[in-house]
Amino acid sequence: MGKRVTIADVAAQAGVSKGAVSFALNDRPGLADDTRARILEVADELGWRPSSRARALSTSRALALGLVLARPPELLGADPFFPAFIAGVETVLSQRGQALVLQVVPDLEAEAEGYRRLVSDGRVDGVFLLDLRVHEPRVQLLESLGLPAVTLNKPDSPSSFPAVCSDSESGIRRAVEHLLALGHRRVAHVAGPDEFAHAARRRAGWESALAEACVPPGPVVVCDFSAEGGARATRELLALADPPTAVVYANDVMAIAGLAVAAELGVKVPDELSVVGYDDTLLAAHVHPPLTTVSVDALAWGAQAAQTLLTYLEHHAADDVLLPPATLVVRGSTGPAPTR
């Protein structure tokens, strides 16, 4: 009871050699059609399933992909993007009999050591490279280790790896243009850390949209993508002598925290303050008021990244992929600029 069915079991039941079973199960030529059909029928009846360990040994592959994230665990758990992205990856890997090896480490130095261990232990065939930095140092490291990768967005330095890209800058521009159309002229930005390329791109989108409208940029507060950081930034902005009438946040977590702070301080949203997030997480539509936000499909991003990396591993080449542009979802947290 519970014993794993092996090729030897299938061979004995079908009355053939183990070699014949291997030929049939791997769809190799050299067997009569009726023999192949009988072997496959017996394998199905016995409930035979391929051994991932045996597959790995026969292909000299780990049959696993890696994801190393240099984020504090508490921030990782609070950001809904990562669970959705990982779920998207798993929708592809589960169908291909592959595993995901996840490591959460405190900093870039530990992340680099994590890649070295994955290579030395032979645990993965390739990795997903997220959270690209300005002047990204990890691409060169992975190339030197011979560890294939797919990057989320293109790094600002040369890279031999395929990239799966989402245009975050245009999404933020749409958010700012929406606020400008509502009459806002003092639009602040709560940005992510300066070292992250996607935070820099979102800030650039905010700046360029205001510049094209000949509207001076409002105040900027940089924080860490966390709810606590978003709350602190919102308090700082609302305490200004001339506070903004609208705030564009670099993610939904910070924006939702900003809504809570505004309510605590008696600032009415959207009558006195308009709030825009980024990501369109599941909670965005269910807070009060519902959050206007830039919608990004993290699940699809994960699935496409997994498919691209598997293609790269199989063919030693893969094209860059540009995902559909981010869209602005307008809800109740934005409204006409207040008259002062």
Q: Which residue has the higher pLDDT, 134 or 266?
A: 266
What digits encode the pLDDT tens for the residues 8-25? 888 898 898 877 887 787
Q: Determine the 3-state secondary structure of 313 from DSSP.
A: helix
**Domains delineated in the chain:** 7-49 (1.10.260.40), 64-166+299-322 (3.40.50.2300), 168-295 (3.40.50.2300)
CB atoms < 10 A from the CB of 100, how many?
A: 18
Separation of alpha carbons 147 and 308, rounded Å: 15
Rounded mean pLDDT of the chain?
A: 90
pLDDT (average), residues 283-297: 95
Q: Collapse the DSSP code of 105 into the 3-class scheme (helix H, G, I; strand E, B; otherwise coil) and give the result.
A: strand
pLDDT band at 271 (very low <50, low <70, confident <90, very high): very high
Compute φ and ψ for 32, nearest 5 degrees.
-65, 150
Max Cα–Cα distance, the chain, nearest Å: 89
pLDDT score recorded for residue 57: 41
Q: What is the pLDDT of residue 33?
A: 86
Residue 115: band (very low, low, confident or very high) from pLDDT cuts 50, 70, 90: very high
Comparing C-alpha atoms, which of 301, 299, 275 is closest to residue 288? 275
**For position 73, what pLDDT does the model report?**
72
Q: Is the pLDDT of residue 27 over 70?
A: no
The pLDDT of 87-110, averaged and rounded, is 91
Whole-number pLDDT of residue 18: 79
Cα 34 to Cα 257: distance, rounded to the nearest angstrom: 66
Digit-coded pLDDT (tens) for 36-48: 888 888 888 887 7
Question: In the predicted model, what is the mean pLDDT of residues 158-166?
Answer: 94
pLDDT category of residue 340 using cuts at 50, 70 and 90: low
Query: What's the average model confidence in pLDDT over 312-319?
Result: 91
Instruction: Answer whether residue 59 shows pLDDT above 80.
Output: no
258, 244 in Cβ contact below 8 A? no
Q: Tell me the percentage of the chain whose pLDDT exceeds 90.
A: 66
CA 173/CA 154 separation, integer angstroms: 20
Q: Which residue has the tokens 């893969």?
A: 318
Q: What percent of the chain has pLDDT over 70?
A: 92
For residue 317, what are the contacts with CB-CB under 8 A and spacing of at least 6? Answer: none
Model pLDDT for residues 178-225, shown as the tens digit of each residue: 999 999 999 999 999 999 999 999 999 999 999 999 999 999 999 989
Residue 60 has a pLDDT of: 53
Cβ burial, residue 182 (10 Å; 0-12/13-18/19+): middle
Count of alpha carbons within 13 Å of 80, Cβ hemisphere only?
Answer: 17
